[in-house]
Structure 1
Amino acid sequence: MVHIAVDIGASSGRLVIGKLKQKKIGITEIHRFENGFSAKDGTLYWDIDYLLNEILYGLQLAKQAGYRVESVGIDTWAVDYVLLNKKGERMKEVVSYRDHRTAETIDKVTGQLARERIYEKTGIQFLPFNTIYQLYEEDEKVIMELDQLLMVPDYLNYLLTGKAVMEVTNASTTQLLNIGTRQFDQDLLETIGLRENQFGELIEPGQQLGPLKKEWFPAFDLPDCEVYVVASHDTASAVVGTPGTGDNWAYLSSGTWSLLGVETDSPVVTREALQENYTNEWGVFKTYRLLKNIMGMWMIQEVRRHLPEKLSYEELVVEASKVASFQQYIDFNDERFLNPENMIEEIQTYCRETNQPTPISAGELAACVYNNLAIIYTIAIEELEKMTEKQIRHLYVVGGGAQNRHLNQLTANLSKTTVFAGSAESTAIGNVMMQMITTGKIKDLEEGRNIVRSSFPLEEFIPKSTDSSFIIKEFKKIISEGGRMDDSKSFDYESL
């Protein structure tokens, strides 16, 4: 019997077969498909029907391949949601978090309830696309007719089983859950004009939801299997699948976004955490993920998309390694890089505005992205050490970005932290592992991570000597001064 992880990110999705044999987890990709949003009448939407069809097709492939499927679990990206009417029907298409409708909404909401108060209640960082701000901007007529709201993975579970619940790791990203009561916060609901009974029942990961209703999908030859509730936020599943040991490690889930943080038993809701915009997303077994959202591989994906020459990601890394390091200092967490019309032009415009050398070639642009991501990662590690009062000795990089050896070494050099690059499929591994824990095949999270560590190779990156303190100091100074650089500034730093 095998378990299937349905792992859907903002750029692509996959169905992965997972099985446990002789205390080792083996995974096999059975189906992969593209994902993305598209514009319609000035709004960006996901195609949720397409995603459902790809899930069903992948399950059919698994059955046709002869796999005996015991269970399936779904994880996706966070914050986006589906609105259902009283008939259980979708009321409108699913808007993407990269839509610009919420660009000014944080100020509207914090004008009604103070920023400090919202953070004290939720422990969730302030990002313009958080669910609370999306709902604030929803059409009032739609809200009046709304019967139930489900997050994207919960809605896909609902389509497969008919059971409507809200899994907590994803639900916590709404910025609507009270971190003390672990329920929806009434003050925040009133701010956006919604009621608690308009949301699905909150449910912890690691539970059996119900059988796949294969009779609802006669066009597909589907397996007999159960649908399990896993950590449905893809980052939560990625952290489950991270093979960290001890209490001095951090994780970097490197995909479209870079999520860098530590796993804690209690939330860190301090003035400093608020000031630095750290979040306390909920994890499995009532843990928390104290982390920072960093604009990740989205940057290089968009740069690559707009390049005149068609280079692979591997070729971009090679070209970047030929360029002198740290020619520009850019805070890629600036909202202007969230979804510009053309990422290359946005980077170049920023550099001209701030009197910095303008990257032109593919290698210069790629180096600009990788160098600044390494700096931002290093600063995040420093901040986490200060907030948790623990030294971080190891950084486990998982997800697609783990394959970028150049960026891994840059990060090790700057942070003075040993970097371990793990599996690119850590989210699917964590998804499968949670199903195995639920069925009793794996005892607990600690045993599961030990199994992951022995099942998948880790590549180690030892820090090399470099004057990282000078680079970090210059970055902070320039960013704090609005990004502007003196004409006389030299960028002839030793390549890392």
Structure 2
Amino acid sequence: MFMHIAIDIGASSGRLVAANVDAGQLDLQEIYRFKNEMTERNGHLYWDIDYLFMEVIKGLQKAKQQGIDACTIGIDTWAVDYVLLDESGARLQDVFAYRDDRTEQVPDRLHQQLSREVVYTKTGIQEQRFNTLYQLFAHESDELFRASSILLVPDYLYYRLSGQRMNECTNASTMQLLNVASRDFDEDLLELVQLRKDQFASLKEPGESLGPILPELISTFNLPDCQLIVVPTHDTASAVVGVPIQGDRSWAYLSSGTWSLLGVEREQPLNTMEALQCNYTNEWGMNGTYRFLKNIMGMWMIQEVRRELGEAHGFGEMAKLASYSPAFRSLVPCNHDRFLSPKSMIMEIKNCCQESGQPVPGTPGELARCIFDSLALTYYDAMLELNRLHGQPIEVLHIVGGGSQNALLCQLTADLLEIEVQAGPSESTALGNLAVQMIAASRLSDLGAARRCIAQTFPPTAYFPQQMEGRDQILLHWHQIHLSLSIKS
């Protein structure tokens, strides 16, 4: 049996999902799922990259056991984190996790040498202290000098499977090292971090083939006969491919997972000084497009609250408890660095509310309500900026990813933004990954056909805006909280 397999790895879990297309419908099945987490060692946070590779192998073994003899494979993960290889292909270091605090003061130090304005004009990438540019600036220089290749995490997993080194372009763009004008590595930025262009592999576009999996892996582990297809290896890029666009209304997407990414698909980058001030990014997308978007903290906050509570409550139950709690009673600025990697998310939320003179949430429902209300308001602010910068009012917002299953948050978002919200599919990242494989295999004709197929197979749920009592007072309160906290800081 022949299938297409998406290897989709996030910050908390990974899975292998198989699919085929028949009569315009996708048949999707999960083959294998595994946990993923950062580990702390010697004061730093790392990913266990060897564990992730072996979990991929286990998943492919499961596929073979289920009768899949041949397949195509595509890999997507998170962005920015990198692997250093020597000339023989051996790893030089453990893989730092982006939430590690070694880059806390790095952007200010780097921009003493090259201004934020110049870097943004070159790259169009928003400033996040965990961007690869800042991570490399903080990295030990002798180890960087010894590196023969610098690959991002999904590039490395492709390398382990195929023996070929490459830098996939949608993820490479997040490094903040690519020039939007030349669409290549920027020599000034490479010099800034004391690197050479030959330390990076060639840039690959989604849809290209890397050929077969290494024969020794097939024989050693009894794997299917796999052909490796380059997909958008940045999970958000794959998620945007998986947005179920229908009709000709102007649309934006919100990829809602550990992070919330709100943006539009553009033919040209928008790296103006106003976009810099609003901290919007121009990450590369499918078919030479740009994902003009803003990073928002996302479901990370509720994930951490649930973890601290012992995971006694499922995410669905947390949303239900939130719906019973008073609305807009306690609010926090989700994108503040204090919520990036706190020792206790619950205490950080409580402290923030106390500092701003608000009621302190105590119950799981109150904590969840605080997060969901604050996220919806953060989406509202970002959409105002997006409409202004993009210059075309958005008529419908597509929420995809795991957060699309949160009916409370979807309705809050529709009410605040006063536009229609189309929610789903929750599997947009895996679907986008699979769609690119199917286009490469001529099973789907192009991106438009892939999106129509996704919409037909997984019809989204529509949320229409309802009148929100006291909306103006809520927005005023929200902005007063931001002002209060900025003054105190």
Q: TM-score range by the shorter chain?
A: over 0.9
Question: For residues 83-122 of structure 1, what are the structure 2 equivalents within 5 Å?
Answer: 83-122=84-123
Using the TM superposition, give the Cα deviation of residue 482 of structure 1 relative to its aligned residue in structure 2, in angstroms: 2.4
CA–CA separation in structure 1 for the residues paired with 2:233 and 2:130: 18
18-27 or 62-71, which deviates more:
62-71
Cα distance between partner residues in 2 of 1:218 and 1:443: 34
- Find the counterpart in structure 2 of residue 45 from structure 1: 46
Q: 1:350 to 1:112 in 2, by over 3 A?
A: same
Aligned counterpart, 1:280: 282
Deviations 1:423-458 (A, max 9, x none): 211100000000011111111111111111111121
Among residues 473, 481, 485, which one is paired with 1:482 in the alignment? 485
Match of 1:402 among 401, 404, 407: 404
Q: Distance in 2 between matches of 1:392 and 1:347?
A: 32
1:53-81 Cα distance to aligned partner (Å, 9 max, x none): 11111111111111243310000000001
Structure-2 separation of matches of 1:207 and 1:291: 25
Q: Amino acid of the residue matched to residue 24 of structure 2? A: K
| Structure 1 position 388, deviation (Å) | 1.1
Answering whether residue 30 of structure 2 is matched by residue 29 of structure 1, we say yes
SS in 2 for 1:281: strand
Task: Give the superposition deviation at 1:42.
Answer: 0.7
Distance apart, 1:98 and its partner CA: 0.5
Amino acid at match of 1:8: I
Could you tell me how far 1:394 is from its partner in structure 2?
Answer: 0.9
Tell me: CA distance 1:354–1:397, structure 2 relative to 1, closer, same or farther (3 Å). same
**SS of equivalent residue, structure 1 residue 116:** helix
SS at match of 2:263: strand
Q: Which residue of 1 is the match for residue 130 of structure 2?
A: 129
Q: Which residue of 2 aligns with 1:193?
A: 194
Look up the match of 1:471: 474
Among all aligned residue pairs of Structure 1 and Structure 2, give the percentage whose two residues are the same amino acid.
49
* 2:365 aligned partner: 363
Deviation of residue 356 (structure 1)?
1.7
2:350 is aligned to 348
Measure, in 2, the Cα distance between the counterparts of 1:384 and 1:146. Answer: 39
SS in 2 for 1:225: strand
- Could you tell which deviates more after superposition, 64-73 or 469-478? 469-478
- The CA deviation at 1:247 is 5.1
Unaligned 5+ segments in structure 2 are none
Deviates more, 1:474-483 or 1:8-17: 474-483
Q: TM-score, normalised by structure 2?
A: 0.97
Q: 1:2 & 1:217 partners in 2: Cα distance? A: 16
Compute the displacement of 1:469 (Å): 3.9
Alignment root-mean-square deviation, CA: 1.4
**One-letter amino acid matched to 1:476:** H
Cross-structure match for 1:488: none
1:47-446 aligned at under 5 Å gives the runs 47-216=48-217, 218-245=219-246, 246=248, 248-307=250-309, 310-446=312-448
Count the aligned residue pairs.
485
CA apart distance, 1:219: 4.1
- 3-state SS in 1 of match to 2:225: coil
The answer to whether the Cα contact below 8 Å between 1:328 and 1:368 also exists between their aligned partners in 2 is: yes
Cα shift readout 1:281-306 (whole Å, capped 9, x = no counterpart): 00010000000100011000001111
Q: CA deviation at 1:416?
A: 0.6
One-letter amino acid of the counterpart of residue 225, structure 1: C
Which amino acid in 2 is paired with 1:135? L
- In structure 1, what is the Cα distance between the partners aligned to 2:249 and 2:185? 31
Deviation sequence 1:462-495 (CA, Å, 0-9, x none): 111014344233322331342679xxxxxxxxxx
Amino acid at match of 1:376: T
Q: Which residue of 2 aligns with 1:491?
A: none
**Shift of residue 110 of structure 1?**
0.8
Quote the Cα distance in structure 1 between the aligned partners of 2:324 and 2:331.
Answer: 18
Q: Look up the SS of the partner of 1:226 in the other structure.
A: strand
User: Hey, what's the Cα distance between the residues in 1 that align with 2:311 and 2:17?
Assistant: 33
TM-superposed deviation, 1:48: 0.6
TM-score (norm 1): 0.96
C-alpha spacing 1:37/1:292, structure 2 compared with 1 (3 Å): same
What does residue range 442-457 of structure 1 map to in structure 2 within 5 Å? 442-457=444-459
